[in-house]
Amino acid sequence: MEKNDTMTAHNYMVDFTITDTEYVSPDVVLLKMTPADSKVQLKEMNIRPGQFAQVKTPDNATFLRRPISICFVDLEQNKLWLLVRNAGNGSRAIMNSPVGATLNIILPLGNGFGMEICGDTPLLIGGGVGCAPLLMFGAHLKANGITPTFLIGARNKDFVLLEDKLSVYGPVYVSTDDGSYGDKGLVIDNHILKEKFSSIYTCGPLPMMKAAAAIAKEKNMPCEVSLENVMGCGIGACLCCVEKTVKGNVCVCKEGPVFNITQLLWQN
Amino acid sequence: MAELGVKIGNLHLNNPVLTASGTFGYGEEFADFIDLNSLGGFIVKGTTLEPRQGNDYPRMVETPSGMLNAVGLQNKGVDYFIENIYPRLTEYTSEIIVNISGSAVEDYAKVAEKLNALPRINAIEVNISCPNVKTGGMAFGTTTTGAAAVTKAVREAFDKTLIVKLSPNVTDITEIARAVEAEGADAVSLINTLMGMAIDVERQKPYLSTYTGGLSGAAVRPVAVRMVWQVHKAVKIPIIGLGGIMSGRDAMEFILAGATAIEVGTANFINPKVTVEIVDYINEYCQRHGVSDINQLIGII
């Protein structure tokens, strides 16, 4: 299914002030932030689950911005949530930003998860920090009368992310590499995958998403994946983050980051 | 308000700020952030005779104060541009300059001829300096005979303002500049990216699928300023300066070195509003220095 709803979406560059910062695992921080200008209302930005933000790194820690999934938007408190993992100089500078610091962010970017393939019993699979966009998507589904099932994977018990928050919207199943919590082994070996779901949505490491896509294909379930190719601009100008698709090379930032697996050449 | 208008060949720009090809899409990608009509003009991405898929991913890696790219001129071809993109761009009042590229001299001429027929295209920028394609591209830009041959062919096919974009990957850029001037180029733009390479030492592999790529960003600026200054001493035609301009201050560096106009490239990725901030800065700079017209500052170094 072709997705190009960004054509109608508006992008904004906004200064945010960090209001809350919390380590949710040994190497992941949940940052909550609100527009520095209180007149800027997130509810007017039409942010959709699965979209991302381009975050300027504090003190020019890196040359380019860093793309980060939008984890959740708290419309009542006018707060944006980002889940940031320590993955290098850029993300480290962002995650270490203290309460009161300012982050310059371009958002909302790309296409989010599509409802067209959803059905009544979607399974949302997240690996590591890839759980982030599943929170907003789970809330969105619940608000639309659909109860999602979550399946999340982590290295061990200490690295399981967002379990409590996700469980507000649907049952959560967990796999850990060492078996210290939930099923032992890979996410895609979790027992819950023996059951039938109406659709699969996944975000996480590429091997995990490819394995999830293979299961979806085998069981004839529609599937969307969220890619994270290395990006330059994030707005479809530099043509760096391309993915090979049935339409040729397309920008993950603009045509994705969420793709139906039928569009991707790697599923074959 | 200082007078910011400048002239490149027969092209009148409201101000000296242009966007560098390949960094600004077709302009529309930036319409949410800036008023495109407040720019002197924008240079749309590299257009070739036939559609091109570009190079394989990965095409980009961040490097100290810059980035390497190996996009490889991905575009849908000149006919697609004329039919589908050009009509949309005509709604803007600022100048639209098309950057063209090719694998053979005849390809350049054919693309230039097609664009010559478009009333709102008053200038083209001829890319003889792309380091990321196997044939053509930079090969034409690194010898005086190659550069001259492309310029001559395009000159015959295009009767409006002809800008030739030069490669910094040469021993003496002034020789190339003189060669294209002699064949009728109305202006030169410089510099294109510097050829570079970066290796992931843990994986023991190059970061780019093509191994080498073009370096851009703040890291290249001193090289670019030096080359603009040298070329300004060597030719009579106007120079468009680019290479690592991140701010208005950087733009002034190029103008003082001899650039009549400037292009902003990689900085657009970091701050999509940077071009209009540079226009404002140049005006403020002129006022602060008691200069009524930006043309009084071009090449005073």
pLDDT at A6: 44
pLDDT band with cut points at 50, 70 and 90 for residue A1? very low
CATH of A5-109 given 2.60.40.10, 1.20.1070.10, 3.30.360.10, 2.40.30.10: 2.40.30.10
Whether B130 is catalytic is yes
The model's pTM is: 0.95
Does the pLDDT at position A267 exceed 60? no
Smallest CA–CA distance from A11 into chain B, residue: B32
Quick check: is B66 in a domain? yes
- Please identify which of the residues B130, B147, B166, B279 carries the catalytic annotation: B130
Are A239 and B24 a contacting pair at CB < 8 A?
no
Q: How many CB atoms lie within 10 A of CB B283?
A: 17
pLDDT at B137: 61
Q: What is the DSSP letter of B253?
A: H
- Domain CATH for B203: 3.20.20.70
Q: What is the DSSP letter of A55?
A: E
pLDDT at A4: 46
Quick check: is B191 in a domain? yes
Instruction: Name the B residues in 4-63 with CB < 8 Å from any A CB.
Output: 22-25, 29-30, 32-33, 45, 53-54, 57-63
CB contact burial A205-230 (16+ within 10 A = b; e otherwise): eeebbbbbbebbbeeebbbbbbbbbb
Quick check: is B1 in a domain? no
Are B269 and A65 a contacting pair at CB < 8 A?
yes
pLDDT at A153: 96
pLDDT, tens digit, 9 for 90 and up, residues B209-234: 999 999 999 999 999 999 999 999 99
CB contact burial B86-120 (16+ within 10 A = b; e otherwise): beebeebebbbbbbbbbbebebbbbbbebbeebee
Structural class in CATH, domain A113-222: alpha beta
Q: Does A230 touch chain B (CB under 8 A)?
A: yes
pLDDT at B1: 87
Domain boundaries, chain A: 5-109, 113-222
Segments forming the whole domain that contains residue B123? 6-297
Q: Which two tokens stand for residue A108?
A: 């909302």
Number of domains in chain B: 1
**pLDDT, tens digit only, all 301 positions of chain B:** 899 999 999 999 999 999 999 999 999 999 999 999 999 999 999 999 999 999 999 999 999 999 999 999 999 999 999 999 999 999 999 999 999 999 899 999 999 999 999 999 999 999 997 666 666 666 789 999 999 999 999 999 999 999 999 999 999 999 999 999 999 999 999 999 999 999 999 999 999 999 999 999 999 999 999 999 999 999 999 999 999 999 999 999 999 999 999 999 999 999 999 999 999 999 999 999 999 999 999 999 9
Calculate how close chain B gets to A198, using CA atoms only, in Å.
32
What pairs with residue A150 in β-bridges?
A124, A172
Tell me the angle at which helices B144-157 and B105-116 cross, rounded to the nearest 10 degrees: 30
CB-facing half-sphere around the CA of A146: CA atoms within 13 A: 22
pLDDT, tens digit, 9 for 90 and up, residues B237-278: 999 999 999 999 999 999 999 999 999 999 999 999 999 999
Are B33 and A11 a contacting pair at CB < 8 A?
yes
Contacts with A10 from chain B: Cβ below 8 Å:
32
Nearby residues of A89 by Cβ (< 8 Å), 6 or more positions away: A57, A61, A62
The residue-averaged pLDDT of A137-144 equals 97
Q: Which two tokens stand for residue B64?
A: 């100290």
pLDDT, tens digit, 9 for 90 and up, residues A6-19: 445 799 999 999 99
Smallest CA–CA distance from B25 into chain A, residue: A237
- Quick one: which of A258, A164, A249, A255 has its CA closest to A202? A258
pLDDT at A23: 97
Q: Furthest-apart CA pair in chain A: how many Å?
A: 49
Nearby residues of A140 by Cβ (< 8 Å), 6 or more positions away: A48, A49
